[in-house]
Amino acid sequence: GLASLAPLLRGIQNQQYGAYKRLSGAFTSPAYELHFDHIQNDLFAPPSRLRVRVPQSVAGFPVEMLANKTRTTALADFVLRAVYRYILTKSPRRFSRNRGRSEGPHSPRRGLLAVDVGGQRVLPRSALLMDTENVELRFYYRLPAQADPAISALTELLPKLIKQTLHYTSYDAAAVAAFVDCVEDQATLRMLLREHGLVAFVPNGAILPRESGASDRPLATADAVPFQSPPSLEVSLSLPHRGKVTGMGIRRGVTLIVGGGFHGKSTLLQALEMGVYNHIPGDGREFISADVGLLKVRAEDGRAVTRVDITPFINNLPRGKSTQNFTTADASGSTSMAATIQEGLEMGCTGFLFDEDTCATNFLIRDYRMQHLVPKVREPITPLIAKVRALHAEHGVSSIMVIGGCGDYLDVADTVIGLDQYVPADLKIQVADVVSRFPLPSPPEADGESYGTLPTRRPVFPAFTDGKPLVRVSALHQVTLLVPLASSSGVTSDVTAAGMETVATARAPPSEPIWDLSGLDQLAEVAQTRCIAGILETIMVHQQQNKQQASAKSPTMREMLDEWKARFGQASHAAVVHPSTKVGPASLPSPYAARLPGNWSEPRLLELGSAINRLRGFTFTT
Ligand code: ADP
Ligand code: MG
C-alpha cells in the first residue's frame, strides 16, 4: 500500500542508488495509485517515469465534461496545465537548475516533478488521460542521490498536488467550462466549414502575428492589428456555446493571398496552417479554422522520395529516369513539391497551402520568355499553374497560395485577397481590370489538360534485423529507429528523436538526419514527433507479424491512415497494451497504452503519413 512508500524510501536513504529499484511497481490507496513505471539507473540518466491514477469516484470530474473526445481532450489539457503551474510554484530553485540532457521546449519540464505540458495548442496528450473511470497523470522525476528529498516530493508534495489539481472540486467550475466549451466550439467550427463550402475561416478580431520568430505567443495587443474581414468575404457561423462568430471565409477553389513584402501574407498563411488545431483561449488564433485535410507544401531540397508517380508535373527527366515510379535520396525543389502534392492526394488531402517564399519558382510558373527560350520538350516540369484548376475541378482539392511575384496566377484564381498593412481586401474588381488590360501572351501551359494520375501505394518496411523491429520505444521513452542506412546498407544504427524536426542518428551530426521532418510545417510539437515514431514501430511490428501469418497484402497508405484515425477516435488507456508485449489484429495497440511514455501528443494523420513518406530505407508496392 501507499503507506509503505515513506518507510521504503527511508530505508533507501543511505544506500547505493540501485536500491531505488525496490520501488518498482504500484503503491495503492483508496485515494490514488502511484506506479513506478521506470526507475533510472543512476543520477545522470534520464529521469524516472511515474504515474498516478485517481478513480473518478474520488476525482469527481463531471460526465458532461467527458461527453466526447473533444471535451475530454480539452478537460485533460486544462488539468495538465494546472498540474504544470502547480509544480512550477512549488519547485525549489535548485531542482530547476539541475543539469541534464537538453530537451525541446515541449519536453518534460525540469523541476521537482516534470510533466510534458503543451504550448499554445490543445491536443490529446499521453501526460494526462481522462475517462469516466480514472484520471491518470504521467510524470517524470529525477530520483535524488540521497532519498530525503524524494520522501518530501513523493509523500508530501505529490498528495497535495493530487488534491489541488486532480480533484474537480479544487477548480472554479465556470473556468473549466469556459475552457472546454471554447475548445469544443473550435472543433465544431472546423466541422461547419465544409457545410458552408469553406476551406478556412478567420474571425474578426483574431490576433495572427506572434511575439517573435522564436515564440508562439501572441504579439502584444498594442502592436498587433486585429484581423478584420473584407465585407464581401464575410460569413457568420453559429457555434454551440459562443453563438454567432463572424469573419472571413475562404471558399473552395483557388485562393491567392497577395500584397507587398512585409504586409502580413506569410503570417496569415501560417495562421491557416495551424488552423487545423484547436488553440488555448487567449492565443489570438482561437476560431481561426482550417479544414483538417489542408496540407502545407513547400520545396524540400534533399528530401527522400520513394516510388511516387509524379507524372502530372514531371516527365522526361534526363537519362530517362522514371517519373512514374520516382525514387530519389536527394530530391530537387521542384521534384520534392511534385512528390508532396501527389502523396497528399494519395492520403486524401482536401487542399494545399503554398507560400511563394518557400516554393521552387520553376515549379510555380514558366513565364512567356522561358517558354520560348527552353522549348517544352526540353523542360521536364509542367508548372503548378497549369494544374491548379484541374486539381479542384477533377479532385475537389483547393489551393490557398501566398503570391508576391507570380502575377500569372491571377488568371487561375477564384478569389484574390490583398493585404495592405495587415488589412485584407477582396481584390476581385482590381484583378478583373488587370487581367483584361494585361492579358498573358499565351494561356498557362497545358491549360485544359486533365490533372493526371493519382498514386496508390502500399508501404513495405524492411525486414527486422535479428528479429528486432526497426523502431523501438524504450522504457526510457526514447524513440529509437534501427534503420539500415541507405549509404551503408545492412548496417543498423541507433537513432533517437532529437527534436521536433529531425530524427537523427545519436552519433551522427544533426546535419545528417535519417528522418528529416523539417519540411512538415504543420507538425506542431516534438511530442507529436515522438508519437509518430512510436506509431511507426507499431505499424512495422504489425506488418512483420502479418507477413509471418499469411501472405496478407499490406494496406495502402490511405487504409493505414484510416485505421489510425479510427484508433485515435477510440483512444482509451484502459483496454490497450504496449506494442512490444502483444501484437495482433485483435489487439492493436494505441498510443495511449498503459505503459507508454507520458510525453506524446497526437499528430494529425497527414503528418503521420507525411513522416512515413520521408523515411529512408523502406519501399512501396502497388
Ligand atoms: P509577408 O509574408 O507579406 O512578407 P509577414 O507575414 O512575414 O509578411 O509579416 C511581416 C511582419 O509583420 C512580421 O514581423 C509579422 O509578425 C508582422 N505582422 C503580420 N501581421 C501582423 C498584424 N496583423 N499586426 C501586426 N504585425 C503583423
Ligand atoms: Mg512572406
Q: Same structural domain for residues 390 and 532?
A: no
Q: What is the pLDDT of residues 197-219, one digit of tens each?
A: 999 999 999 999 999 988 899 99
CA of 268 to the centre of ligand 1 (A): 8
Q: Report which of residues 242 and 447 the model is more confident about.
A: 242
Q: In terms of Cα–Cα distance, which of 484, 37, 424, 384 is closest to 249?
A: 424
Whether 477 and 613 map to the same domain: the answer is: yes
Residue 355 lies in a domain: yes
Q: Is residue 494 domain-shared with residue 404, that is, in the same domain?
A: no
For residue 543, is it within any domain? yes
Q: Which is more confident, 504 or 404? A: 404
Residue 554: its pLDDT value, please? 78
Ligand 1 atom at shortest distance from the alpha carbon of 207: 23
Q: Provide the grid cell at 275.
A: 488552423
Whether residue 462 is contained in a domain is answered as yes
In a domain, 233, yes or no: yes
- Among 210-224, 506-520, 549-563, the range of highest mean pLDDT: 210-224
Spatial separation of the C-alpha atoms in residues 603 and 526, rounded to whole Å: 10
Whether residue 101 is predicted with pLDDT greater than 80 in this model: the reply is no
In a domain, 179, yes or no: no
Residue that is last in its domain, among 141, 171, 201: 171
Give mean pLDDT, residues 155-175.
Answer: 97
Q: Tell whether the model's pLDDT for residue 594 goes beyond 80.
A: no
Does the beta carbon of 264 lie inside 6 Å of ligand 1?
A: yes
pLDDT at residue 191 in the model:
94
Alpha helices in 144-251 (DSSP H): 148-152, 158-165, 173-195
Find out whether the beta carbon of 225 lies less than 6 Å from any atom of ligand 1. Answer: yes
Instruction: Report which bound ligand comes closest to the CA of 260.
Output: 1
- Determine whether the shortest distance from the Cβ of 285 to ligand 1 is under 6 A: no
What is the whole-number distance in angstroms between the Cα of residue 358 and the centre of ligand 2? 9
3-state helix, strand, coil in the chain (%, to 5): 35, 20, 45
Tell me which long-range contacts 215-222 makes (C-beta under 8 A, separation of at least 24): 216/119, 216/120, 217/120, 217/283, 218/282, 218/283, 218/284, 218/285, 219/284
CA quadruple 63, 69, 74, 77: dihedral sign? positive
Q: Ligand 1 test: best mutation among 267, 274, 417, most atoms within 8 Å of CB? A: 267
Give CA–CA dist 515/256, Å, rounded. 32
Q: Say if CB 460 and CB 620 are below 8 A apart.
A: yes
Q: Which residue has a Cα nearest atom 15 of ligand 1?
A: 209
Give backbone dihedrals phi and psi of 205, rounded to 5 degrees, phi first: 90, -10
CA 388, distance to chain mean position in Å, is 26
**H or E, element range at 129:** strand 128-130
State residue 428's pLDDT score: 98
For ligand 1, atom 26, name the residue with the nearest CA. 224
The mean predicted confidence, pLDDT, of the chain is 83
How much distance in Å is there from the Cα of 404 to the middle of ligand 1? Answer: 14
Assess whether the C-beta atom of 84 lies below 6 angstroms from ligand 1.
no
Give a yes or no: residue 144 inside a domain.
yes
Q: Is the pLDDT of residue 505 over 50?
A: no
Which regions of 25-100 does DSSP assign to beta strands (E)? Answer: 25-28, 33-38, 48-55
pLDDT, position 352: 98
473, 599 contact by CB (below 8 A): no
* Residue nearest (by alpha carbon) to ligand 1 atom 10: 262
Contact 297, 364 (CB under 8 A): no
**C-beta neighbour count of 516 within 10 angstroms:** 22
Q: In terms of domains, do 324 and 383 share one? A: yes
* Residue 573 near ligand 1, beta carbon < 6 Å: no
Domain that holds residue 473: 458-621
What is the CATH number for 295? 3.40.50
More confident residue, 462 or 522: 522
Which of 202, 262, 353, 354 should be mutated for ligand 1, with most atoms under 8 A from CB? 262
Report d(CA 483, CA 485) in Å as an integer.
Answer: 6
Contact 427, 258 (CB under 8 A): yes
CB distance 218 to ligand 1 below 6 Å? no
Assess whether 448 and 464 both reside in one domain: no
Q: How far apart are CA 7 and CA 444, in angstroms?
A: 79
Q: Which ligand is nearest to the CA of 265?
A: 1
Ligand 1 pocket, residue 208 CB under 6 Å: yes
* pLDDT tens for each residue of 17-75: 999 999 998 999 999 999 998 898 898 887 888 999 999 999 999 999 999 889 999 99
* Cα(327)–Cα(590) distance, integer angstroms: 32
Last residue of a domain, one of 417, 434, 453: 453
Minimum mean pLDDT range among 202-211, 323-332, 534-543: 534-543
**How many domains, the chain?**
3
CA dihedral 220, 222, 224, 230 (to 10 degrees): 140
Tell me the percentage of the chain whose pLDDT exceeds 90.
Answer: 58
3-state per-residue secondary structure call for 561-582: HHHHHHHHHCCCCCCCCCCCCC
Give the C-alpha separation, 557 to 541, whole Å. Answer: 16
With a 6 A CB cut-off, is 262 part of the ligand 1 pocket?
yes
- The identity of residue 191, as a single letter, is M
Report the distance separating Cα 183 and Cα 109, nearest Å.
24
Neighbours of 270 (CB within 10 A): 20
Across the beta sheet with 471-473, what order do the strands follow? 471-473, 479-482, 494-497, 502-505, 515-516
Q: Are residues 304 and 430 in the same domain?
A: yes
- What's the rounded Cα separation, in Å, for the pair 471 and 206? 41
Give the cell for residue 382. 509542367
Among the bound ligands, the one closest to the CA of 270: 1
Query: Which of 537, 544, 539 shows the shortest CA–CA distance to 497?
Result: 537
- Give 179 Cα–ligand 2 centroid separation in angstroms: 33
Query: Is 224 close to ligand 1, i.e. is its CB under 6 Å away?
Result: yes
Q: Based on the domain organization, do 266 and 118 belong to the same domain?
A: no
Say yes or no: 502 and 582 in one domain. yes
Ligand 2 centre distance from Cα of residue 261 (Å): 7
- Do residue 389 and residue 516 come from a single domain? no
> What distance in angstroms lies between residue 139's CA and the mean position of ligand 2's atoms?
40
Nearest bound ligand to the CA of residue 356: 2
Do 166 and 196 belong to one domain?
A: no
Q: Could you count the other beta carbons within 10 Å of the beta carbon of residue 128?
A: 28
Contact 48, 36 (CB under 8 A): yes
Q: How far is the CA of 422 from the centre of ligand 1 (A)?
A: 7
Ligand 1 and 206: CB distance under 6 A: no
Q: Are residues 252 and 208 in the same domain?
A: yes
How far apart, in whole angstroms, are the C-alpha atoms of residue 547 and residue 92?
Answer: 53
Q: Are 377 and 489 found together in one domain?
A: no
Protein residue with its CA nearest to atom 23 in ligand 1? 225
Q: Do the domain assignments include residue 147?
A: yes
Query: Which atom belonging to ligand 1 lies closest to the Cα atom of 226?
Result: 23
Q: Is the CB of 422 under 6 A from ligand 1?
A: yes
Cα angle value 206/75/240 (rounded, 5°): 55
- Residue 319: band (very low, low, confident or very high) from pLDDT cuts 50, 70, 90: confident
Distance CA(616)–CA(622), nearest Å, equals 18
* Of 533, 571, 517, residue with least CA distance to 304: 517
Is the shortest distance between the CB of 220 and ligand 1 below 6 Å?
no
For residue 545 the three cell numbers come to 507479424
Ligand 1 nearest-atom number relative to CA 355: 2
Residues with CB under 5 A from ligand 2 (ion): 266, 357
Q: How confident is the model at residue 451 (pLDDT cuts 50, 70, 90)?
A: very high
Helix (H, G, I), strand (E, B) or coil at 615: coil
Ligand 1 near 267 CB (within 6 A): yes
**261 CB within 6 A, ligand 1:** yes
Give first-to-last CA distance, the chain, whole Å: 56
Q: Is 1's C-beta closer than 6 angstroms to any atom of ligand 1?
A: no
Show the cell assigned to 355.
507560400
The residue among 74, 72, 54 whose CA lies nearest residue 165 is 54
Pick the closest to residue 542 from 532, 552, 529, 530 (CA basis): 552
Does any domain span residue 333? yes
C-alpha cell at 5: 512508500
Query: What are the contacts of 220-228 at 24+ separation with CB within 8 A?
Result: 224/284, 225/264, 225/421, 225/422, 225/423, 227/202, 227/203, 227/424, 228/204, 228/423, 228/424
H/E segment holding residue 140: strand 134-141
Please state the atom number of ligand 1 nearest to the C-alpha of residue 404: 3
ipTM above 0.95, yes or no: yes
> Of 108, 143, 171, which closes a domain?
171
Amino acid (1-letter code) at residue 5: L
Q: Which of the ligands is closest to the CA of residue 202? A: 1
Residue (of 233, 153, 167) closest to 201 by Cα position: 233
